[in-house]
Structure 1
Amino acid sequence: MTSSPPSTRVRKMPEERRAEIVRTAARIALEEGLERITLRRVADELGVRPGLIGHYFPAADDLVSEAFTHAATRERAALLPAEEAGLAPIDRLARFLVRLTDGEFVDLGRLWLNARHVSRFKPGLRAAVRAQESLTRDALTALVDEGVRSGDFTTDDPLGVTLHILVNVDGLGAYSNDDVPFDHPALRDMSIGTAERMLGLPPGTLRARTR
């Protein structure tokens, strides 16, 4: 009788496996929506048993919340990269807005739209959405405030400017499932125009800074 060959599967460290599960769930959320995240679906994607996913996330809702948090955190890091911290505030704001409005982050716009709807019924996700909103709001407000102190911007209400910008961005995200073309100037430049108007910048300034 021949013996079976030894398994070549390498057991991953718990923190590595958990991170892999969250990354996979986040990808499913971005591509298909938060509702498509189930323990079985993630297990199938990773080629493991659902029980393994359940070991790390006994409740699927907890995995949904972490998947959204992972995607939103990566979004913020891509929009306001740490390696650009040495740039002038006006250049960092310009890059932030152009990245957001030029279509590169359409999938994340859909995810935010999806998360705000689904969070009505999931308290854990609702807390995650609020936490990520707060982090983004604080980061952008700090950037605007820095620009005021450096002389790049003119405003006595950095938080107010931030709220106007983010509400405009969220409004653009509301069209992410629509057929309205994202390259239409009325949509593409709305947030940028709002920022320029509220910060005392001539029209066209922010796009010009990214060229």
Structure 2
Amino acid sequence: MTSRPQATRIRKQPDERRAEILHTAARIALAEGLEKITLRRVADELGVRPGLIGHYFPAADTLVSEAFTDAAARERDALLPADEAGLPPTERLARFLVRLGEPDCLDLSRLWLNARHLSRFKDGLREAVDAQETATRDALTELIEQGVRDGEFTTDDALGAALRVLVTVDGMGAYANGDTHLDHPALDDMALTVAEHALGLAPGTLRARA
């Protein structure tokens, strides 16, 4: 009697499995909200037992915080991609702001609203939100400082200019959960207009460069 060969089960390396869990949780967060992240839900998505998820993330709150960090960092990398670092600062800023206004970023705006609300009650998530806000603020400030050095922007307060832009973006994102959309050109270019005013650019410069 000939024995039947057994199928070989391939085990993923710990770092690979952990990254897979995080990416899956981040995808759930972007599509449905951080509240939907549970060990069982992530396990179901991956077709594994909840105990495996718990092995890497014993506390669900830790998974929620790290999933937010993963999603926010990935989105920031997409908004300010490293392969565009050689472009003129005005063009990079224009692309950044136009991308933020595209429909694809609506889930990201909702995620930030969701995270900021929940962070009132979860210390780990509050630390994650603070860290991602700082990373984005630093990246935008550095971009503006480069623009000043290159003679493209005019400001003696790069951080202040970055804050004006980001507060405007956050204010517009506050309406991300609404079912209705107020259609007005002022809203479409509001972040661009604020940035142009803060950086001494002629009106319409950023839209043209995007």
Q: For the superposition of Structure 1 and Structure 2, which TM-score range results when normalised by the shorter chain?
A: over 0.9
Q: Is 1:28 matched with 2:28?
A: yes
Aligned equivalent of 1:100 = 100
Q: Give the aligned residue type for 1:187.
A: L
TM-score by length of 1: 0.95
Q: How does 1:88-127 map to 2 (within 5 A)?
A: 88-127=88-127
Provide Cα deviations, 1:18-63, integer angstroms capped at 9, x if missing partner: 0000000000000100000000000011111000000000000000
Change (3 A) 1:2 1:55: farther
Provide Cα deviations, 1:131-188, integer angstroms capped at 9, x if missing partner: 0000000000010011011110111111000000000010111111113427642322
TM-score by length of 2: 0.95
Q: Give the aligned residue type for 2:147.
A: G
Distance, in Å, in 2 between the alignment partners of 1:35 and 1:152 is 43
Q: Give the aligned residue type for 2:122.
A: K
Aligned equivalent of 1:153 = 153
Q: How does 1:1-211 map to 2 (within 5 A)?
A: 6-181=6-181, 184-210=184-210
Question: Could you list the runs of 5+ residues in structure 1 that have no partner in the other structure?
Answer: none
Distance, in Å, in 2 between the alignment partners of 1:8 and 1:165 is 54
Contact residue 165 and residue 194 of structure 1 kept, 8 A? yes
Change (3 A) 1:204 1:132: same
Change (3 A) 1:47 1:108: same
Contact residue 89 and residue 144 of structure 1 kept, 8 A? yes
- What's the CA shift for 1:89? 0.5
Distance, in Å, in 1 between the alignment partners of 2:40 and 2:59 is 12
Q: Give the aligned residue type for 2:195.
A: A
Q: Give the aligned residue type for 1:52.
A: L
Contact residue 21 and residue 42 of structure 1 kept, 8 A? yes
Q: Give the aligned residue type for 2:24.
A: T
Provide Cα deviations, 1:105-125, integer angstroms capped at 9, x if missing partner: 111010000000011111000
Tell me the percent identity: 72
Cα root mean square deviation, aligned: 1.7
Q: Give the aligned residue type for 1:162.
A: A
Distance, in Å, in 2 between the alignment partners of 1:74 and 1:4 is 45
Distance, in Å, in 2 between the alignment partners of 1:183 and 1:5 is 64
Distance, in Å, in 2 between the alignment partners of 1:2 and 1:172 is 69
Task: Count residues in correspondence.
Answer: 210
Distance, in Å, in 1 between the alignment partners of 2:128 and 2:205 is 35
Distance, in Å, in 1 between the alignment partners of 2:183 and 2:68 is 27
Q: Give the aligned residue type for 2:52.
A: L
What secondary structure does 2:104 align onto?
coil
**Structure 1 runs (4+) greater than 4 angstroms displaced:** 1-5
Question: Could you list the runs of 5+ residues in structure 2 that have no partner in the other structure?
Answer: none
- What's the CA shift for 1:74? 0.5
Distance, in Å, in 1 between the alignment partners of 2:101 and 2:156 is 26
What secondary structure does 2:12 align onto?
coil
- What's the CA shift for 1:5? 6.7
